[in-house]
């Protein structure tokens, strides 16, 4: 190993970085810099492509990296081809935004992979981060009660996911960039599930799926539909309601959430009777 690859303490630099918990992020920057240098030196486009591929492989040890080193469009296109197992592995490994730094584990989602119902929340809290399953804390208990009120059960024709897969520190609302980094995962979940109906729990879920379209109160009761960016499949109807954690604090709005759930149930019944997506 050359001298400049050693730290002042005489330890190999990679060893020191690993001890300080600074890999792979630091390796990523180094690899990118080295890759850029190689690309700049290369006048031959074929060599340049090979150089870029080498950089991507350096980042994760996997071919065709899913990290942000790939352009967002390439990354989204790659995620859009993953099956459930690969998606779970990619999310578990994801370093596409800063939320990975403090998570214990990423939380993909839970439920029936052939579910008609998809419920989307905001992001894992402390208990979800510890257990690896969405909505297992106090808000989750209320969500289970809401499901039971319309004769549904977690895991039985129901899938539960979040806008972001890693816990935001101190349970803060995920930032727009964090939701954007996670969006390809959520979109892939929707494409794999092909649910008949999506219920968005709270404003962050609305923001992640529909964009920054207004206050939750102004969106409730309105008809929305979600179409996957690559356009495969039909538009999926969306019902917007309050987040269970908000309902734990605002008991008076529980009646409104109940109205939303009844509307969702009616849409689903019609859709099943007609043998088509809820509308
Ligand atoms: N709140 C969410 O939005 N999601 C969870 O998984 C838990 C709490």
Q: What does the pLDDT read at residue 66?
A: 61
Q: Which atom of ligand 1 is nearest to the CA of 128?
A: 6
| pLDDT, one tens digit for every residue, the chain (279 residues) | 333 344 333 444 444 334 333 333 333 333 333 333 332 333 333 333 333 333 333 333 343 446 666 788 899 999 999 999 999 999 999 999 999 999 999 999 999 999 999 999 999 999 999 999 999 999 999 999 999 999 999 999 999 999 999 999 999 999 999 999 999 999 999 999 999 999 999 999 999 999 998 999 999 999 999 998 776 668 899 999 999 999 999 999 999 999 999 999 999 998 788 775 554
Alpha-carbon span 246 to 253, nearest angstrom: 9
Does 35 sit in the ligand 1 pocket, CB within 6 Å? no
Does 122 sit in the ligand 1 pocket, CB within 6 Å? yes
Q: Which atom of ligand 1 is nearest to the CA of 243?
A: 3
Q: What does the pLDDT read at residue 112?
A: 96
Does 121 sit in the ligand 1 pocket, CB within 6 Å? yes
> Within 10 Å of residue 206's Cβ, how many Cβ atoms?
24
Residue nearest to atom 7 of ligand 1 (CA): 135
Q: What does the pLDDT read at residue 70?
A: 74
Q: What is the DSSP letter of 21?
A: T
Question: Is there a cis peptide before residue 149, judged by omega within 30 degrees of 0?
Answer: no
Among all chains, which residue has been given the structure tokens 């929340």? 121
Q: What does the pLDDT read at residue 179?
A: 98
Secondary structure of 200-240 as H, E, C letters: EECHHHHHHHHCCCCCHHHHCCCCEEECCCCCCCCCEEEEE
> Within 10 Å of residue 73's Cβ, how many Cβ atoms?
9
Cβ proximity of 197 and 265 under 8 Å: no
Does 129 sit in the ligand 1 pocket, CB within 6 Å? no
Cβ proximity of 198 and 232 under 8 Å: no
CA angle 86, 87, 93 (to 5 degrees): 90
Among all chains, which residue has been given the structure tokens 């967002």? 72
- The separation between CA 237 and the C-alpha centre of its own chain, rounded to angstroms, equals 20
Q: Which of 104, 106, 162, 201 to mutate to test the pocket of ligand 1 (most atoms within 8 A of CB)?
A: 162
Q: What does the pLDDT read at residue 276?
A: 56
Q: Which of 139, 216, 249 to mutate to test the pocket of ligand 1 (most atoms within 8 A of CB)?
A: 139
Q: What does the pLDDT read at residue 21?
A: 31
* Structure-block tokens of residue 178: 């964090």
Q: What does the pLDDT read at residue 228?
A: 87
Does 216 sit in the ligand 1 pocket, CB within 6 Å? no
Q: Which atom of ligand 1 is nearest to the CA of 202?
A: 3
Instruction: Please measure the distance between the N-terminal and C-terminal CA atoms of the chain and give it in whole angstroms.
Output: 64
Does 125 sit in the ligand 1 pocket, CB within 6 Å? yes
Q: What does the pLDDT read at residue 68?
A: 60
Q: Which residues share a beta bridge with 156?
A: 153
Does 128 sit in the ligand 1 pocket, CB within 6 Å? yes
Model-level pTM? Answer: 0.76
> Within 10 Å of residue 102's Cβ, how many Cβ atoms?
12
Would strands 197-201 and 117-121 be described as parallel, antiparallel, or unpaired?
Answer: parallel
The secondary structure element, H or E, covering residue 162 is strand 158-162
The Å distance, Cα 94 to ligand 1 centre, comes to 19
């Amino acid at each position: 190993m050359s001298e400049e690859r050693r730290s002042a303490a005489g330890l190999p630099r990679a060893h020191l970085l690993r001890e300080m918990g600074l890999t792979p992020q630091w390796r990523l920057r180094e690899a990118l810099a080295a890759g850029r240098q190689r690309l700049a030196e290369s006048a031959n486009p074929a060599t340049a492509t090979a150089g870029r591929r080498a950089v991507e492989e350096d980042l994760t040890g996997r071919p065709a990296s899913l990290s942000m080193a790939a352009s967002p469009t390439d990354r989204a296109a790659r995620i859009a081809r993953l099956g459930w197992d690969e998606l779970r592995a990619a999310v578990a490994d994801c370093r596409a935004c800063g939320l990975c730094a403090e998570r214990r584990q990423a939380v993909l989602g839970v439920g029936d992979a052939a579910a008609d119902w998809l419920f989307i929340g905001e992001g894992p809290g402390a208990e979800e981060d510890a257990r690896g399953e969405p909505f297992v804390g106090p808000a989750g208990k209320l969500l289970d009660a809401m499901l039971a009120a319309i004769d549904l059960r977690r895991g039985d024709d129901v899938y539960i996911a979040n806008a972001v897969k890693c816990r935001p520190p101190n349970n803060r609302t995920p930032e727009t960039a964090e939701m954007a980094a996670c969006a390809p995962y959520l979109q892939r979940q929707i494409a794999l599930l092909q649910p008949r109906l999506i219920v968005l729990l709270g404003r962050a879920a609305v923001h992640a799926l529909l964009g920054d379209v207004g206050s939750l109160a102004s969106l409730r009761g309105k008809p929305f539909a979600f179409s996957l960016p690559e356009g495969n499949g039909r538009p999926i109807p969306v019902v917007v309601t309050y987040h269970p954690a908000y309902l734990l604090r605002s008991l008076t709005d529980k009646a409104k959430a109940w109205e939303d759930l009844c509307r969702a149930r009616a849409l689903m019944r019609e859709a099943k009777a007609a043998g088509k997506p809820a509308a």
